[in-house]
A and B are shown apart, each in its own frame.
Chain A
Amino acid sequence: MADRQELTEAEAARRSWMSLLAKAPAGRLADLWQARGAAPGFEWLRAPEVGGVMVRGRAGGTGAAFNLGEMVVTRCALKLADGRVGHAMVQGRDRKKAEIAALVDAGMQGAEAEGLRAGLLEVLEAEMSSAKAARAAKADQTKVDFFTMVRGED
């Protein structure tokens, strides 16, 4: 729903990778990150912190907003040696996942972007969409057609 806000192209791209990282399976993200070799040095602007975000819904799906309940997230912010800043807010309590997500976010703003895109983001995206496709296929197989029977009262 990026159309709700006027985002620049760069912001829209950043929004998209940050969203992907937030939803990525923690273990898989860590594996792909480690496979890239030594992590860059950085300093914390905000060390990983676990907290809650109150999730909202809408009455009737489209009406007034209401508070549904909280979800657990971990956020952090860090700065690479060259001054690039990475942010992350990811689902769950995995501090390492938040750290990697912020490092990828910072890396995506420089020369490593192409490598990160091909070696990490695109791999995650493909795996996550194939998991969704498999789930959609299972749902599709349970699609039914109900036939109303003639009741014979006339």
Chain B
Amino acid sequence: MYVAVKGGEKAIDKAHEWLDEARRGDPAVAELSVPQIREQLALAVNRVMAEGSLYDPDLAALAIKQARGDLIEAIFLIRAYRTTLPRFGYSLPVDTGAMECDRRISATFKDVPGGQVLGPTFDYTHRLLDFALEAERLERPAPEAGAAVHPEMPRVTEFLNKEGLIQDEVAPAPAEDQPDDLTRQPLELPAARPLRLQALTRGDEGFVLSMAYSTQRGYAKNHPFVGELRIGTVGVEAEIPELGFDIEIGEVVLTECETVNQFLGSKSEPPQFTRGYGLVFGQTERKAISMALVDRALRWKEFGEDDKGAPAQDEEFVLYHCDNIQATGFLEHIKLPHYVDFQSELELVRKIRREADEARHQEAAE
């Protein structure tokens, strides 16, 4: 247990001064601006928004600067800021089918209406360091300018759905379609799927990735295909209560992944494909794919599958450990002064040793 201590103010002030200096680094090197981080470290910004659970690229960039690039620390800053914001309400569910896609690929269908669009991807790069980037003010040829309209991009899973080959995703009646909110009520188990999706979308990328990977390696294997991965912009609509109608209050970039998974059927269901779903703020495709795999693994009860005792099937394990701010808070608090606690532990160990010693002497004497 952490017990408050007094003193140390001067040392703490000096430590923070040094922190400020260390953050700035060598003053001979130009200082990073927040817009530079927002524009040039955009994928770090996206991760901080996703796991900080707050869409604001400028704030995420500021947090990264303040945290010296420690992304979990930056996410912590965003979560703390988030709690100071009054909640104006809930948006209507975004329509990802109407996304203006920068990227849209399917690993299951070659010829999808709307086409396969690669977007600004690392895929097919050689993963060789590009030393040309070491040079500053490097001029790169700009891609050809042009004008086009975003084509209609129907969901890939809809094609399967038309034939009844995949489990349908139907919205509940509006009165029942009110998901629990992790930021309002503590997590309780068993958690309905909407609550699990909220926990996963803000969960730690590394944790969710590892859980997903474990399912691929055989722990509750569920044979996923990436039915569709799309990244792009969607409008967010919310009601203006004074006016009694919805307006678009802004736009967000999202990554959506739908997996298509094997399912052999059960007593009540014919053989058909099932789905896992990932939806994450920003361009965050590793996370979205991971989320979809873990979502699918956690649905084993719903499909009457066996509990294979795999970690990714265990919602208590996954949901209680995927949040890196809860995890880091509990983990890092053990470095704070625990002197009183430790004193009592020390006393205890000394006492046990003393008693053990005495018992040994006693035995020897006998």
Contact = CB atoms under 8 A, between A and B. Distances in A.
Given A55-B55, A132-B100, A67 B194 contact: yes
Given A55-B94, A142-B119, A68 B279 contact: yes
Contact of A52 (B82, B93, B192, B240): B82
Interface stretch (B65-73, B129-137, B251-259, B334-342): B251-259
Interface of A: 1, 4-5, 7, 11, 14-15, 18-19, 22-23, 49-73, 75, 77, 87, 89-93, 130, 132-146, 148
B102 to A, nearest CB: 5
B93 A71 contact: no
A22 B178 CA distance: 26
Given A135-B100, A136-B149, A66 B193 contact: yes
Given A132-B100, A133-B147, A136-B149, A23 B179 contact: no
B194 A139 contact: no
Contact of A137 (B50, B96, B146, B195): B146
Given A58-B93, A69-B281, A146-B116, A137 B148 contact: yes
A105 to B, nearest CB: 10
Contact of A67 (B96, B172, B179, B249): B179
**Chain A, interface SS category:** mixed
Interface of B: 49-50, 53-56, 58-59, 82, 85-97, 100-103, 110, 115-120, 143-151, 155, 157, 169-172, 177-179, 181-183, 192-195, 197-198, 201-202, 235-238, 240, 242-243, 245-252, 254, 256, 258, 275, 277, 279, 281
A145 B145 CA distance: 22
List 4 tightest A-B contacts by C-beta distance, closest first.
A91-B250, A60-B169, A137-B146, A63-B169
B193 A59 contact: yes
11 contacts: A4-B92, A49-B86, A53-B249, A68-B201, A69-B55, A70-B85, A71-B249, A73-B250, A89-B88, A89-B247, A136-B147
